Structure 1
Amino acid sequence: MEMKWIVLAIAALMYGVVVAFPHKKAWATLGAAAAVILLQVVTPAHAFGTLVNWNVLMIYVGSLAIAELFIYSRVPARIADNIVAATPNIGLAIVAILMMTGIISAFVENVATVLVMAPIALALSRKLKMNPTYFMVGLAVMANLQGTATLVGDPPSMIFASFANYGFNDFFVYQGRLSIFFIVQVGMLAGAVFFYAYFAKNGGQKVDIEREPIVSLVPTALLVLMIIGLAISSFFHTGISIWSGLTVMILGVAGLLWYRFVRKESTADTLKMIKGLDWETIVFLIGIFIVIGAIAETGLLEEFAIFLSTLVGSNVLLGFVVILAVSVVISGFVDNVPYIIAMLPVASTLAVNMGLKPELYMFALLIGSCLGGNLTPFGASANIVAMGILKKNGSPMNFSGWLKIGAPFTLITTAAASAFLWLVWR
């Protein structure tokens, strides 16, 4: 049997374990990575020196630490309180909070965003004597929607930036055209209209709330410095450079030192915060980088791109719809990280072979993969967290209940974002 089919079988087995036992996903990818190294598809030096993108991992770890400190500062909660106080009615306030959740999630990890906004949603729901289920679903889906808008939003955007050699600024404007950030914002506006139609029944009410005290503005300053640092780095380096990774990592470490020695939080609390970072996803990414890199080494991804070219022929719209639809369906049920890593070179090659700008199909892949995670309650980690919070607070939601809002939200936001993408990049 050819080595490429053995590697594909290993990847398929890995994927099966990740789907069946998501809590074991890190072990599954590490095991698969060890297998391709032992089979000498890639050498250890090549695997850990070339295939694993340590700059991406440094950005992820550093941004996670800053996100935890941002939550600790209570600044997001205070902003939400101000929104409720400033809006003329509660229907608009709820939609504004959902939009704020999305904007925060463009710079802070999705799960962290949901965790910091959940208490606000639950407290407001109690005051309104309103079932919190769809408010919580709204927090999760809006967070997921914005995860791919910037370089630091979520792992898929970091992976895309690494592959396409995009810097932080390129997510806003690239080659004179509006880039993925603005494409996602079109989806967010469509989602906001969708939610306002649902929550408009609460439009005549207004509540007074006690404003949350701010602990410190230092984490907000770190978040702003991270954005400025990445923007400056983009002017001097294309893609995710070592300077981008070091900038975010240093700011994250500085934040933790501030937490321990300036805020004088205990060593135990500091270690608890560090331990609470998403290390499972970090290990998962290391394994995925190696396995998908091994698949690429065998030429399988190029062969799949050729197969897709034969399938869609010269029909650009068909290729666009196929990538978009398949991405939505797959990401609604399984982790989108390995899918995106594997499909980025396929989408790019397919576009180039058809004489297109690769962004048309690569952005379609990102939109379908990230927005598709909103389809089901287990399509994204933020969804699972939201379901857990609802259950803990006595308002459990089942699969069909999620679909009632997740499915139409996914279709509306994906359609709006993809239509804008087609107009700008076709």
Structure 2
Amino acid sequence: MELIVTLVVFIISYIFLLWDQINRALVALCGAAILILFNIFSVDEALSTYVDWSTIVLLFSMMVLISITQKTGVFEFVSLWMIRKVNGKPVPLFMWIGVMTAVGSALLDNVTTVLLLVPVIINMTKQLNLPAIPYLIMVIIISNVGGTATMIGDPPNIMIGQAVERFTFISFIVHLGPIILILFTVVMGLLFLLFRNQLRQQNAAASMREIKPTDVLKKTPLLYQSLVILSLTIVGFTFHGPLHIELTTIAFCSALLLLLLSEKDKMTETVFEKMEWTTLFFFIGLFVLVGGLEEVGLIDRMAESFLEITGGDPMTSSMYILWSAGLLSGFLDNIPYVAAMIPVLFEFEQYGIVATDSMWWALALGACLGGNGSLLGASANVVVAGIASTHQIKIRFITFMAYGMLIVMISMILSSVYLYVRYF
């Protein structure tokens, strides 16, 4: 009975999210509330066990940092500077943003990268009178591709890196870096072809000479304070491993420090008023909804069933993990799927099977790249859609899925070839 109720609630919630006519946070929270009312789990269990508060606090902290920094004109300065560099040409701008997104997602993490870039992109597209949707969809997809390359780039990789002691930061780059370089090239080329009609040259070259990026900077103490703290936060993210400090701790402390420094400008009330609470509450509801599937054992059953299908053969198991993770992560969110699969791979030893490196890399590739399947597939997707909506730019669920699933299928095919050639 519990299984049926949970499935029905999840499916109905998903239908409403696809319909995209009701606030997504309201849909997710209503679904979560129904699961609690049917006693699938208690409120305490839902909030303490299934809501990933580290992710919520990280998002909250980065939103605070970006909101205050945005007041100084830094993002507008960067957008105008980049516009001048590419002389207002949409295609070079598209390519440069793709490179910045991939590198940033690999060296930081994809959520932080999109939080930093999306306000800049929206400013740039407004300045050039270009449609923002192609750039935003590209940023979502490339952030998931670039984040796959390193251990800190995407939450599933962090989870795998923490679970498997022999994997280091360099291990991820060595094993995943080559295929990500190939995928980045292929995906950027494909996205250009898909959006080429929307990236037509604008007659903006003449007006580029009149743009003075420095004019938009508000040269107050807050400008320098926010830049220093934001830079230190990024450095802290990069070296959080050797420092033995969690990403969330670094971001939260940085946000509090900047709030304290900006208090004389009465920034705190303004920042809290303009926070993207819809995005944060959507995440909370989504975590509880997917937690219901975990609570009734559905994800574990799906994960464990592949033993019967593959018989433990390393190559067959790797391919099954890759494709199942890739297809399911687009709809269930990749974090809970990886959380369910990690203990399953460790349990193989009970059946006399040792989980090979190829299986772990297949899980990383499938979960991270599969996040492109829908707007619910990865944290970065939801964050971009949330920020865009605050600027009255709506990324429709179905529209994104049409592009995302095509990218996922191509990514899975190329990843399958890569795993076969390199490991078998």
Both proteins in one fold, TM over 0.5: yes
2:372 maps to 1:367: no
Quick one: which amino acid aligns to residue 273 of structure 1?
K
2:190 maps to 1:194: yes
| 2:74 counterpart residue number | 75
Contact 1:301 1:342 in 2 (8 A): yes
| 1:225 counterpart residue number | 232
Cα deviations by residue, 1:216-269 (Å, 9 ceiling, x for unpaired) = 2543433332233344441254xxx6x5432221112222333433xx145541
| 5+ long unaligned stretches in structure 2 | 18-23
Secondary structure class of the residue paired with 1:134: helix
Contact 2:326 2:367 in 1 (8 A): no
- Cα distance in 2 for partners of 1:289, 1:68 equals 30
Alignment of 1:147-296 (within 5 A): 157-158=154-155, 161-162=158-159, 164-165=161-162, 172-174=169-171, 178=174, 184=180, 186-196=182-192, 199=196, 207=205, 208-209=207-208, 210-212=211-213, 213-215=216-218, 216-235=223-242, 237=244, 243-261=246-264, 264-274=265-275, 276=277, 278-284=279-285, 287=288, 291=292, 294-295=295-296
Structure 2 CA distance for partners of 1:344 and 1:71, relative to 1, 3 Å: farther
Secondary structure class of the residue paired with 1:278: helix
How many correspondences in the alignment? Answer: 392
| 1:141 counterpart residue number | 141
Contact 1:171 1:181 in 2 (8 A): no
| 5+ long unaligned stretches in structure 1 | 1-5
Secondary structure class of the residue paired with 2:112: coil
- Cα distance in 2 for partners of 1:204, 1:267 equals 40
| 1:12 counterpart residue number | 7
Alignment of 1:106-125 (within 5 A): 106=110, 108=112, 110=114, 113-124=117-128
Structure 2 CA distance for partners of 1:258 and 1:87, relative to 1, 3 Å: same
Cα deviations by residue, 1:183-232 (Å, 9 ceiling, x for unpaired) = 54543333233345564985898725324433425434333322333444
131-140 vs 115-124, which moves further: 131-140
CA deviation after TM superposition for structure 1 residue 82, in Å:
3.0
Contact 2:276 2:390 in 1 (8 A): no
TM-score, normalised with respect to structure 1: 0.69
- Cα distance in 2 for partners of 1:365, 1:33 equals 31
TM-score, normalised with respect to structure 2: 0.70
Quick one: which amino acid aligns to residue 311 of structure 2?
G
Contact 2:29 2:281 in 1 (8 A): yes
- Cα distance in 1 for partners of 2:229, 2:163 equals 23
364-373 vs 181-190, which moves further: 181-190
| 2:317 counterpart residue number | 319
